[in-house]
Chain A
Amino acid sequence: MTPRFITRSLFFFMTLLLIEQFLNGLQIGLLLFLLAAGLTLVFGIMDLVNLAHGSLYMMGAFFAATLTEWTGSFLLGALLALPATALLGIVVEVIALRNLYTRDHLDHVLATFGLILFFNELARILFGVGGMAIPLPDSLLTHFEVLPGLPYPTYRFLIIVVGLLCAVFLYVLVQKTRLGMLIRAGATNREMVGALGIDIKLLFTLVFGLGAALAALAGLMAAPITTVQIGMGDNILILALVVIVIGGIGSIRGAFIAAVMIGLVDTMGRAFLPNMLGTVLSPADAGTVAEALSSMLIYILMSGVLVLRPAGLFPAPGR
């Protein structure tokens, strides 16, 4: 084996590894985007901080797990869980959140934190403490070659495809339809939208239902990889909040770009930092530092973006 052959092989494997980690990062980013999209619309239009968005993510996953058990089909279970969670979101909005719009952000935080506790308890009563698994059908348990020599799990690739399709759907909805125009108009001046004859409460209820369905989609797609468990939405909600702050509150485009950025930075950091630091530090130190650094990386990114653009990458004008 010539040195040249070794270098070229090494380069080849590094490239494959990079592509694989890129796909992993993209997949996490797109899941985050689905969660953040609903959050940013709700925050943007109604100025409502909804910490319970993660609960809809969890409930969507539990619904999908239960419905998959009942129907025996993951696809059917998933398709039924979406309208079920949308309906749940609409009920929560009408019963609880509608009374909060005129209150300040602290009240929003307190009330929706209460909803998190409520939903965690509800899930415990309905679905038990043990959590649930969503078994994937055999057809999705396969790998396929994204590139020659690079097998990638079919299911993870499916998440990427569905996430991208949702991004396109939301782009068309927000940019090209009248509903989208009203959503954008509502994000900058909801009083004026009302004064021109639009029932902004009804509009918001619809948007909230849509956001709930997107959160459910993220939850049920993540579930087969992890498990469905109580509190599964709490940690990812923090990431989704980071995403909408970076992207600019109220902006779908910002949420998309920020979510993919976060997904990539987080995944790449965890994958490559230990080796990179290993070149300058002892292996033990490199491990410790890399672990600490990679969990901080997205917050460092957020601080950096906020220093340069305090209102996020794509701030809604007029706010």
Chain B
Amino acid sequence: MASLLDVENINTFYGRSQVLFGMSLCINPGEVVTLMGRNGMGKTTTIRSIMGLTPAATGHIRFRDADIRGLPAYRVAKIGVGLVPEGRQIFPNLSVRENLIATAANRRHAEQPWTYERVIELFPRLAERASNMGNQLSGGEQQMLAIGRALMTNPHLLILDEATEGLAPLIRQEIWFCLERLKQAGQSILVVDKNVDALTRLADRHYVIEKGRVVWEGDSNALLAAPEIQRRYLGI
């Protein structure tokens, strides 16, 4: 089976300082894959490289067999990558409803596209806040909105950078439950988070990265059976 996303040996720099050193990962259609590692190890940079926000200098990035390294972010998004960025980055001066519909699209002609109504059904909490401005929401509501906003571009691959960081435990549960539902519906997901318990329940495979390269990869059982990996690279 051809993979959905194939990142091969990329090197990425911020100015003159190198952050990614031969980073590689792949995601198959319908898979949920995680990216774990301590802060500053290159998780966000990996995602920014995939999106074209901080382009990789060398290496290959293929998405559905198209070479996407070097494409501007809007082209990457257009061919089907939906981003839920770190810090959520809701548009503060747009209402909840506007945040969802402003960039909505169904470029891959999904038979059951994500619509405003379906997002509201997934996150009923957003219905009550529909006319509130983005900057009036709680962190959890903002995260739901960011997920809904990405889903409304009907992406082949959903990428979440720090899915539950800074959220209250109950809200975290709600986010994990929502991701579980998306997985069951066949959505491919790349997720960055620190919560090993939740991630091993949700995801198929995991990549642990350190200093800009993959130091361990395997499925959930393998990760649970490797406490030394968790201790050494995740600080658990």
Residues of A within 8 A of B (CB): 178, 181-182, 184-185, 187-189, 191-200, 316-318
The segment from B13-21, B34-42, B62-70, B86-94 found at the interface with A is B86-94
Contact B101 A195 (CB under 8 A): no
Chain B 136-171, CB within 8 Å of chain A: the 1/0 string? 000000000000011001000000000000000000
| B83 and A181 contacting across the interface, CB-CB below 8 Å | no
Tally of chain B residues near chain A (CB < 8 A): 27
Q: How far is the CB of A44 from chain B (nearest CB, A)?
A: 11
- Kindly list 7 other residue pairs between chains A and B, CB separation below 8 angstroms, not including A178-B102, A185-B91, A196-B74: A181-B94, A188-B91, A194-B73, A195-B85, A196-B83, A197-B105, A318-B135
Among candidates A181, A184, A200, residue contacting B74 with C-beta atoms closer than 8 Å: A200
Bound together, the chains give a CA A61 to CA B102 distance in angstroms of 36
Taking each of B51, B77, B83, which has the highest tally of chain A beta carbons within 10 Å of its own beta carbon? B77
Kindly state the separation between the CA atoms of A192 and B92 in the bound complex, as whole angstroms: 12
C-alpha gap A178/B103 in the complex (Å): 8
Smallest CB–CB gap between B94 and chain A, Å?
6
Q: How many angstroms between the C-alpha atoms of A73 and B78 in the bound complex?
A: 46
State how many angstroms separate the Cβ of A195 from the closest Cβ of chain B. Answer: 5
List residues of chain B with CB under 8 Å of any chain A CB: 51, 53, 72-74, 76-78, 82-83, 85, 89, 91-94, 98-99, 101-103, 105, 107, 135, 149-150, 153
CB distance from B100 to the nearest CB of A (A): 10
What residues on A are CB-neighbors of B135 within 8 Å? 317-318
Q: Nearest 5 A-B pairs (CB), nearest first?
A: A197-B77, A196-B103, A181-B102, A185-B91, A317-B92
- Shortest Cβ gap from A245 to chain B (Å): 19
In the complex, are the beta carbons of B93 and A194 less than 8 A apart?
A: no
> Can you list 11 contacts pairing A with B, beta carbon distance less than 8 Å?
A182-B102, A185-B93, A191-B73, A194-B74, A195-B51, A195-B74, A195-B85, A196-B74, A196-B83, A196-B149, A318-B91
The answer to whether B153 touches A197, judged by C-beta atoms less than 8 angstroms apart, is yes
Question: Nearest chain B CB to A28's CB is how many angstroms away?
Answer: 29
- Shortest Cβ gap from A17 to chain B (Å): 41
Do A184 and B93 touch across chains, with their CB atoms under 8 A apart?
Answer: yes
Q: CB < 8 Å: which of A184, A185, A195 contacts B77?
A: A195
Residues of chain A lying within 8 A (CB to CB) of residue B72: 194, 199
Cα–Cα, bound, A192→B134 (Å): 14
How far is A186 from B135 in the complex, measured between Cα atoms in Å? 15
Q: How far is the CA of A233 from the CA of B194 in the complex (A)?
A: 57
* Distance in angstroms between the alpha carbons of A195 and B79 in the assembled complex: 11
| CB-based contact A197/B74 at 8 Å | yes
With known contacts A178-B101, A185-B102, A195–B73 Cβ distance under 8 A? yes
Residues of B within 8 A of A194 (CB): 53, 72-74, 77
When chains A and B are docked, how far (Å) is the Cα of A317 from the Cα of B92?
6
B61 to chain A, nearest CB (A): 15
For residue A25, give the distance in angstroms from its CB to the closest CB of chain B.
30
Chain B residues contacting A198 (CB-CB under 8 Å) are 74, 77, 103
Most central of B72, B78, B85, B93 by chain A CB within 10 Å: B93
A259 vs B123: C-alpha distance in the bound complex, in angstroms? 42
* CA of A86 to CA of B85, assembled, Å: 36
With A and B bound together, what is the CA distance between A36 and B62 in angstroms? 45
| Contact between B153 and A196, CB atoms less than 8 A apart | yes
Task: Give the residues in chain A near B78, CB-CB below 8 Å.
Answer: 197
The residue in chain B whose Cβ has the minimal distance to the Cβ of A192 is B89
- Known pairs A188-B91, A188-B93; A181 contacts B98 (CB<8 A): yes
Cβ distance A64 to chain B, nearest Cβ, rounded Å: 35
Complex Cα gap A309–B103 (Å):
32
Residues of chain B contacted by A185 (CB below 8 angstroms): 91, 93-94, 99, 102-103
A189 touches B91 (CB 8 A): yes
The residue in chain B whose Cβ has the minimal distance to the Cβ of A202 is B74
Contact B51 A187 (CB under 8 A): no
Residues of B within 8 A of A195 (CB): 51, 53, 73-74, 76-77, 83, 85
**Contact (A184, B94) CB under 8 Å given A194-B77, A197-B103:** yes
Name the B residues within 8 Å of A199 (CB-CB): 72, 74
Bound CA span A140–B68, Å = 59
> Contact between A187 and B93 (Cβ–Cβ < 8 Å)?
yes
Contacts of B92 in A (CB 8 A): 188, 317-318
